[in-house]
């Protein structure tokens, strides 16, 4: 190896021997300019440390593909491996897919760190033997789900598996309705009697509080009651005329919501359900005429009919008839309001209670009205 200065004159020359033969006591011949001298191995190392940068700086490193025993180009060999060719006089690129072509696989027992005598069974696995520093065959896992340390010990029909509340094992649980993906997540806010309906987005279910009316214990009971052996109210053939039904007795008014006076009753604001029954009797004096009778609830305060009741009619042989006229329904009032029951008939001779005697001498009840206040 030589180092040339700018004037073209050789300044240093050295003869190298192999690294295996070199020692600090070996002698090397060094030519500095026109003088030649021998130096020891130790001095050579010192000299090389001083001269190496200048010597290496003059060396040009050729590309890998310019060497005579390497591939001519990298193009088209992306992902390839490098191996010695079959002639053993150069290296070549080999595509990754064919890299192992021609390589004979060794039995696993031929490897130095694997047990040399193995008689594996199905499902056996390799396990590292830390004492002997080798891989050895061990029986495969034969545990069942319920034999694992973090699973239930017994199977249970129709159960699902979930992580327990401690987050350290699995457990069987019975699925609940609220665990479904399209139901409420819990019962918070729900009350007894709530309905289950499809939500507004039509993609799940939700609780719905029913607004059905609730009848409370605000009970009102009115009657037209007369002593035994006393006939009831007489009405004639009124055609389209309505007559006020007599009411004279308030049997019950739990919440003091009703005031009875002059056969009319006044209710305080609220929602009420009412039923009125009237004992009607009439005498038919013609077998070819249809006679009718009817009842209604009239709103005296507003001057309008509040509820129409069930009527009665007859077409039969001459003689008396007896029936019950009924009216029922729900009324809503915002201010104190007065009502009365009214009846009409085409019978020539009608009465709201014609009996003049009752069994055992009990009072005669010819009209019965029951009212309940409703909370909505």
pLDDT number for residue 227: 86
Percent with pLDDT over 70 in the chain: 64
Choose between 195 and 19: higher pLDDT: 195
217 pLDDT tier (thresholds 50, 70, 90): low
pLDDT number for residue 301: 97
pLDDT at 21 over 60: no
- Among the listed residues 275, 158, 184, the one whose alpha carbon sits nearest the alpha carbon of residue 221: 275
Ramachandran angles phi, psi of 62, nearest 5°: -80, 150
- Among the listed residues 284, 279, 276, 270, the one whose alpha carbon sits nearest the alpha carbon of residue 370: 276
Ramachandran angles phi, psi of 300, nearest 5°: -70, -35
pLDDT at 106 over 80: no
299 and 220 co-located in one domain: yes
Residue range(s) defining the domain that contains residue 302: 215-375
pLDDT number for residue 268: 94
| b/e burial code for range 134-149 (CB count within 10 A of at least 16 → b) | ebebeeeeeeeeeeee
User: Is 91 part of a structural domain of the chain?
Assistant: no
Stretch 19-26: mean pLDDT, rounded? Answer: 50
User: Is 72 part of a structural domain of the chain?
Assistant: no
| Residue in the block written with tokens 């010990």 | 153
202 and 239 co-located in one domain: no
220 and 333 co-located in one domain: yes
pLDDT number for residue 10: 41
User: Is 366 part of a structural domain of the chain?
Assistant: yes
pLDDT number for residue 38: 61
Cβ contact 307:327 at 8 Å:
yes
261 and 337 co-located in one domain: yes
127 and 237 co-located in one domain: no
Report how far residue 17's alpha carbon sits from residue 21's, in angstroms, rounded to the nearest whole number: 7
User: Is 318 part of a structural domain of the chain?
Assistant: yes
**pTM for the full model?**
0.43
368 pLDDT tier (thresholds 50, 70, 90): very high
Nearest 10 degrees: Cα torsion 309, 314, 320, 325: -10
pLDDT number for residue 11: 43
Percent with pLDDT over 90 in the chain: 20
User: Is 322 part of a structural domain of the chain?
Assistant: yes
* 3 state SS of 300: coil
User: Is 194 part of a structural domain of the chain?
Assistant: yes
102 pLDDT tier (thresholds 50, 70, 90): low
227 and 205 co-located in one domain: no
pLDDT number for residue 370: 96
Which one of 127, 150, 175 terminates a domain? 175
285 and 324 co-located in one domain: yes
- Among the listed residues 60, 50, 62, 61, the one whose alpha carbon sits nearest the alpha carbon of residue 11: 50
pLDDT number for residue 310: 80
Torsion sign (Cα): 29, 37, 6, 49:
positive
219 and 337 co-located in one domain: yes
pLDDT number for residue 7: 45
368 and 237 co-located in one domain: yes
pLDDT at 296 over 70: yes
225 and 365 co-located in one domain: yes
Residues 261-295 have pLDDT tens digits of: 999 999 999 999 999 998 877 766 555 455 677 88
- Among the listed residues 96, 124, 97, the one whose alpha carbon sits nearest the alpha carbon of residue 108: 124
Stretch 319-342: mean pLDDT, rounded? Answer: 89
27 pLDDT tier (thresholds 50, 70, 90): low
- Least confident range from 66-70, 337-341, 353-357, 367-371: namely 353-357
| b/e burial code for range 48-83 (CB count within 10 A of at least 16 → b) | eeebeeeeeeeeeeeeeeeeeeebeeeeeeeebeee
- Among the listed residues 134, 130, 105, the one whose alpha carbon sits nearest the alpha carbon of residue 117: 134
Burial category of 328 from C-beta neighbours within 10 Å (exposed 0-12, middle 13-18, buried 19 and up): middle
DSSP code, position 359: G
Stretch 164-193: mean pLDDT, rounded? Answer: 85
Distance of CA 309 to the CA centre of its chain: 51
Stretch 294-319: mean pLDDT, rounded? Answer: 82
Q: What's the domain count of the chain? A: 4
Stretch 73-80: mean pLDDT, rounded? Answer: 86
* 3 state SS of 92: strand
27 and 154 co-located in one domain: no
Highest mean pLDDT among 61-75, 86-100, 142-156, 306-320: 61-75
User: Is 69 part of a structural domain of the chain?
Assistant: no
169 and 188 co-located in one domain: no
pLDDT at 108 over 50: yes
Stretch 294-305: mean pLDDT, rounded? Answer: 94
pLDDT at 47 over 70: no
What one-character-per-residue DSSP string does 108-145 give?
Answer: GGGSTTB-SS----TT-EEEEETTTTEEEEEPPP---G
Ramachandran angles phi, psi of 83, nearest 5°: -145, 165
Report how far residue 277's alpha carbon sits from residue 368's, in angstroms, rounded to the nearest whole number: 5
Stretch 80-104: mean pLDDT, rounded? Answer: 79
pLDDT number for residue 57: 62
State which H helix or E strand residue 50 sits in.
helix 41-57
Choose between 353 and 172: higher pLDDT: 172
User: Is 122 part of a structural domain of the chain?
Assistant: yes
Which one of 15, 32, 57 terminates a domain? 57
């Amino acid at each position: 190896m030589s180092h040339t200065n700018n004037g073209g004159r050789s300044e240093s020359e050295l003869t190298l021997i192999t690294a295996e033969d070199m020692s600090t006591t070996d002698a090397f011949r060094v030519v500095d300019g026109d003088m030649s001298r021998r130096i020891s191995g130790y001095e050579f190392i010192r000299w090389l440390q001083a001269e190496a940068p200048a010597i290496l700086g003059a060396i040009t490193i050729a590309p890998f593909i310019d060497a005579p025993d390497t591939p001519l180009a990298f193009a088209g060999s992306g992902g390839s491996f490098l191996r010695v060719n079959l002639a053993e006089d150069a290296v070549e690129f080999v595509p990754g897919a064919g890299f192992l072509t021609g390589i004979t696989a060794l039995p696993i027992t031929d490897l130095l760190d694997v047990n040399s005598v193995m008689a594996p069974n199905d499902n056996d696995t390799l396990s590292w033997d830390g004492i002997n520093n080798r891989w050895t065959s061990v029986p495969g896992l034969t545990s069942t789900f319920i034999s694992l340390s973090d699973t239930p010990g017994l199977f249970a029909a129709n159960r699902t598996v979930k992580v327990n509340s401690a987050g350290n094992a699995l457990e069987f649980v019975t699925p609940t309705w609220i665990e479904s993906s399209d139901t409420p997540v819990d019962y918070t806010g729900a009350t007894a009697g709530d309905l289950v309906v499809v939500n507004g987005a039509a993609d799940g279910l939700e609780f719905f509080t029913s607004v059905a009316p609730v009848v409370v214990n605000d009970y009102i009971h009115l009657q037209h009651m007369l002593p035994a052996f006393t006939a009831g109210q007489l009405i004639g053939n009124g055609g389209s005329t309505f007559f006020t039904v007599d009411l004279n007795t308030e049997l019950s008014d739990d919440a003091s919501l009703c005031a009875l006076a002059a056969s009319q009753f006044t209710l305080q604001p609220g929602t009420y359900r009412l039923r009125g029954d009237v004992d009607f009797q009439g005498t038919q004096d013609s077998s070819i005429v249809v006679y009718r009778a009817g009842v209604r609830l009239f709103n005296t305060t507003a001057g309008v009919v509040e509820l129409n009741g069930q009527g009665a009619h007859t077409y039969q042989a001459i003689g008396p008839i007896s029936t019950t006229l009924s009216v029922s329904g729900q009324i809503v009032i915002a201010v104190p309001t007065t009502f009365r029951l009214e009846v009409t008939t085409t019978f020539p001779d009608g009465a709201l209670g014609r009996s003049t005697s009752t069994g055992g001498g009990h009072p005669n009840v010819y009209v019965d009205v029951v009212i309940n206040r409703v909370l909505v």
